């Protein structure tokens, strides 16, 4: 079986069989050359701390990126709830664990086929003072053709932005996915939507800027609302508008 097809089928199967309360729509999977020039540009766009694929895996040839979109009920619950819906908080916790499981299971299969694999954690792979991460799953997904960024600095895919991203770096070569030419953010497309800015509970988000520290302070406050879930620094109010489930 072609490697790209095997990886895609494995991810879809693991999501379908996941023992989670959270339900998902069909995952999206994309591939990028580990030597795509955009990875080098991440050093300029994000900062010099952002790693290149080969800094994580010296034999890197391909970056595999995937998106796990939440079921519509999860998003609708968070949209209508004052504060953060427990369904959204549970989805965050469960999906991070699911991403780690997907990476673990893919590693087993790929290593047994003689392919080297490396990955970064699904979340909390950032410095808590600077809030800078050494690897951005969203940026990897962008380079792998899964979507483009919206005003809210989240990646909007053909399945929307309500969900979680994961990625792996492998030593096998897979043809890269094409990147979309269409803008998925309605504001960038025709200036008709600023739901995310207007729905930000702390006003940390504007068209021009995202105050990450103000946003993260709010996320830590939310965490205290769900003491039974573990670290749950989550909000997602900006991801419950029209771009939650992107529809042409």
Confidence of residue 45 (pLDDT cuts 50, 70, 90): confident
CA neighbor of 34 nearest in space, from 55, 49, 9, 10: 55
What are the pLDDT digits (tens) for 225-237? 898 888 889 999 9
Question: What are the residue ranges spanned by the domains of the chain?
Answer: 3-176+183-245
CA neighbor of 24 nearest in space, from 11, 36, 34: 11
Do 236 and 246 form a contact (C-beta atoms < 8 A)? no
Q: Is the pLDDT of residue 15 over 90?
A: yes
What are the pLDDT digits (tens) for 111-129? 999 999 999 998 877 767 7
Q: Is the pLDDT of residue 204 over 80?
A: yes
| Range from 2-16, 22-36, 38-52 carrying the lowest mean pLDDT | 38-52
CA neighbor of 172 nearest in space, from 31, 40, 77: 31
Confidence of residue 1 (pLDDT cuts 50, 70, 90): low
CA neighbor of 28 nearest in space, from 148, 164, 206: 164
Q: Residue 101, Cβ neighbours under 10 Å: how many?
A: 16
Structure tokens that stand for 150 in this block: 């919206």
Cα–Cα distance for residue pair 205/211, rounded to 1 Å: 6
* pLDDT attached to residue 47: 83
CA neighbor of 87 nearest in space, from 103, 74, 104: 74
Helical (H) or strand (E) element with 163? strand 163-170
- Its pTM stands at 0.95
For 4, counting Cβ atoms within 10 Å of its Cβ (0-12 exposed, 13-18 middle, 19+ buried), the class is middle
Do 101 and 186 form a contact (C-beta atoms < 8 A)? no
Q: Is the pLDDT of residue 248 over 60?
A: no
What are the pLDDT digits (tens) for 136-194? 999 999 999 999 999 999 999 999 999 999 999 999 999 999 999 999 999 999 998 99
* pLDDT attached to residue 124: 76
* pLDDT attached to residue 98: 98
Higher pLDDT among residues 132 and 190, named by residue:
190
Cα–Cα distance for residue pair 138/135, rounded to 1 Å: 9
């Amino acid at each position: 079986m072609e490697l790209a097809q095997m990886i895609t089928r494995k991810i879809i199967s693991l999501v379908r069989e996941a023992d989670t309360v959270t339900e998902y729509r069909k995952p999206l999977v994309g591939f990028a050359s580990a030597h795509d020039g955009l990875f080098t540009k991440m050093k300029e766009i994000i900062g010099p701390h952002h790693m290149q694929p080969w800094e994580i895996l010296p034999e890197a040839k391909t970056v595999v990126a995937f998106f796990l979109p939440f079921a519509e009920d999860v998003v609708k619950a968070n949209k209508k709830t004052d504060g953060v819906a427990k369904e959204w908080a549970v989805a965050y916790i469960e999906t991070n664990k699911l991403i780690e499981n997907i990476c673990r299971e893919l590693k087993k299969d790929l290593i047994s086929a003689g392919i080297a694999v490396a990955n970064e954690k699904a979340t909390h792979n950032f410095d808590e003072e600077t809030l800078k991460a050494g690897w951005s799953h969203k940026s990897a997904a962008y380079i792998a053709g899964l979507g483009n960024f919206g005003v809210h600095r989240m990646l909007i895919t053909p399945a929307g932005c309500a969900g979680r991203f994961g990625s792996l770096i492998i030593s096998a070569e897979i043809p890269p996915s094409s990147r979309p030419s269409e803008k998925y953010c309605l504001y960038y497309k025709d200036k008709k939507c600023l739901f995310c800015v207007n729905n930000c509970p702390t006003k940390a988000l504007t068209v021009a800027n995202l105050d990450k520290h103000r946003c993260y302070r709010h996320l830590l406050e939310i965490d205290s609302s769900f003491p039974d879930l573990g670290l749950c620094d989550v909000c997602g109010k900006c991801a419950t508008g029209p771009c939650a489930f992107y529809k042409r």
